[in-house]
């Protein structure tokens, strides 16, 4: 079975991302969770912070590793000898962008295949953006992210003006 890459900003990692990672880990020999630098998105957490959060979350999964990358995903995939890119689909609203991205990646490298995975229905409303917004306003995000991510959010917003 091929190696799969699950790329994203993971700013921060949520239980929805983890659900996709666990599903992919059952299908592929090796899953690389690839944290994108995503500079243009002005992430809340640094690349190093995001990578550390992912590393800690996947520690218990034997065939999953975390890595960081910048630049073109298809080039990174070729370097890592990965044939599959995994993306999560939550709702119709994700479809248009994901469809465009997958077809563009295929144009850039036709050997890389994109597959979509749907999370457990309870996570279909979950996004890093919403989690950040709730945490920024002092709300409880414990149902949406792993414990260490919750703590990191608390630390981040305690050191930032509201
Ligand atoms: P990006 O900046 O690349 O969109 P994200 O970290 O927001 O990175 O998401 C990475 C991937 O995970 C995307 O394919 C996104 O659709 C998917 N994803 C995000 N949240 C969820 C969720 N709750 N359930 C399933 N997939 C998700």
pLDDT digits (tens, 9 = 90+) for 100-152: 999 999 999 999 999 999 999 999 999 999 999 999 999 999 999 999 999 99
SS3 51: helix
Please determine, for residue 1, whether its predicted confidence score (pLDDT) is greater than 80.
Answer: no
Catalytic residue, candidates 17, 23, 87, 132: 17
Active site residue 17: yes
- HSE value, Cβ hemisphere, 13 Å, CA-based, for 36: 18
Catalytic residue, candidates 9, 30, 87, 128: 128
Task: Give the C-alpha separation, 61 to 69, whole Å.
Answer: 21
Residue 67 pairs in a beta bridge with 34
Which residue's alpha carbon is at the smallest distance from atom 12 of ligand 1?
Answer: 88
SS3 110: coil
Q: pLDDT at position 115, please?
A: 96
CA of residue 150 relative to chain centroid, distance: 16
Instruction: Looking at the CA of residue 13, tell me the nearest atom of ligand 1.
Output: 6
Task: Give the C-alpha separation, 30 to 32, whole Å.
Answer: 7
Only one residue has tokens 């239980």, namely 15
* CATH code of residue 145: 3.40.50.620
Contact predicate 72/109, CB 8 Å: no
Which residue's alpha carbon is at the smallest distance from atom 22 of ligand 1?
Answer: 16
Task: Give the C-alpha separation, 54 to 34, whole Å.
Answer: 9
Catalytic residue, candidates 23, 50, 87, 90: 90
Residue 69 pairs in a beta bridge with 36
Which residue's alpha carbon is at the smallest distance from atom 2 of ligand 1?
Answer: 9
Number of domains forming the structure of the chain: 1
Please determine, for residue 161, whether its predicted confidence score (pLDDT) is greater than 70.
Answer: no
* Eight-state DSSP code of residue 40: G
Q: Which residues constitute the domain of residue 61?
A: 3-158
12: cis peptide before it, omega within 30°? Answer: yes
Whether 12 is in the pocket of ligand 1, judged by its Cβ within 6 Å, is no
Radius of gyration of the chain (CA): 15
Active site residue 128: yes
Please determine, for residue 88, whether its predicted confidence score (pLDDT) is greater than 90.
Answer: yes
* Segment 84-96 mean pLDDT: 92
* Segment 61-69 mean pLDDT: 98
* Segment 46-66 mean pLDDT: 98
Task: Give the C-alpha separation, 13 to 28, whole Å.
Answer: 21
Whether 132 is in the pocket of ligand 1, judged by its Cβ within 6 Å, is no
Beta-strand (E) ranges in the chain?
Answer: 3-8, 30-36, 64-69, 84-88, 113-117
């Amino acid at each position: 079975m091929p190696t799969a890459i699950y790329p994203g900003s993971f700013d921060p990692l949520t239980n929805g991302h983890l659900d996709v990672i666990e599903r992919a880990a059952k299908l592929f020999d090796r899953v690389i969770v690839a944290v994108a630098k995503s500079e243009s998105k002005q992430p809340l957490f640094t690349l190093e912070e995001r990578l550390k959060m992912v590393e800690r979350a996947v520690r218990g999964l034997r065939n999953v590793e975390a890595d960081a990358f910048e630049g073109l995903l298809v080039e990174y995939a070729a370097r890592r000898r990965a044939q599959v890119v995994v993306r999560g689909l939550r709702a119709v609203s994700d479809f248009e962008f994901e469809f465009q991205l997958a077809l563009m990646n295929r144009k850039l490298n036709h050997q890389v295949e994109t597959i979509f995975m749907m999370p457990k229905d309870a996570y279909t409303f979950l996004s890093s953006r919403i989690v950040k917004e709730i945490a920024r306003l002092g709300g409880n995000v414990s149902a949406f992210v792993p414990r260490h991510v919750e703590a990191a959010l608390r630390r981040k917003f305690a050191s930032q003006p509201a």
